[in-house]
Amino acid sequence: MLTAISNLIIPIIVLFIVFYGIVKQVNVYDVFISGAKESFDMVFSLFPSLLAMILGINIFLKSNLLNTLINFIKPILVLIKIPYQILPMALIRPISGSSALAFLNNIFESFGPDSFIGKLGSVIQGSTDTTFYIITLYFGCIGIKKIRYALWAGLFADLIGIISSILIVKLMF
């Protein structure tokens, strides 16, 4: 039953929009074409920002900087009894949401979703955001070039989200 509903929801929404346009006497096809033309301008204006972000992410991941950071922070986490296996996900989350999900999936496969580290990874995933992606996409879309303070505020919010996640999961579980 749910599969049938999920398969039909998008066509129903599209049919509703077309029917609503007909009722309001709007040429739905012409409005759709006009919107598609406008989207090309937006895509072309966002492309340089997205390309720079993707290039930066690849340089970060391929340069082995992530492993260097993990090896530097790992002894501190072991000392304060926080599982160091969560560190790659916490460090990559502000950069790439899909990579963070891949790390979380590895945590689930290795430790299980109901383990302490699985719960911690889930809470971190929900408490932080992909700061670099958001700043690149939203600021690039409206043409803001000076992102320094917004970047630091976003990264600080991610750090607070990670610290809060650790504290909450330690207290709750």
Model confidence pLDDT, tens digit, residues 101-123: 999 999 999 999 999 999 999 99
Over residues 57-94, the pLDDT tens digits come to 788 778 888 888 889 999 999 999 999 999 999 998 99
With 80 as the cut, is the pLDDT of residue 1 above it?
A: no
Over residues 30-54, the pLDDT tens digits come to 998 998 888 888 788 778 877 887 8
Spatial contact of 94 and 153, defined as CB atoms under 8 Å apart: no
- pLDDT value, residue 2: 80
- pLDDT value, residue 64: 86
The domain spans of the chain are: 1-63, 64-173
- pLDDT value, residue 138: 85
CA dist list (Å): 65 to 4, 34, 73? 46, 45, 12
**Closest C-alpha among 77, 95, 99, 97 to residue 87:** 77
Helix (H), strand (E) at residue 114: none
- pLDDT value, residue 131: 92
**Closest C-alpha among 83, 95, 97 to residue 125:** 97
d(CA 82, CA 74): 9
The residue type found at 137 is L
- pLDDT value, residue 60: 79
With 80 as the cut, is the pLDDT of residue 146 above it?
A: yes
pLDDT confidence of 140, banded at 50, 70, 90?
confident
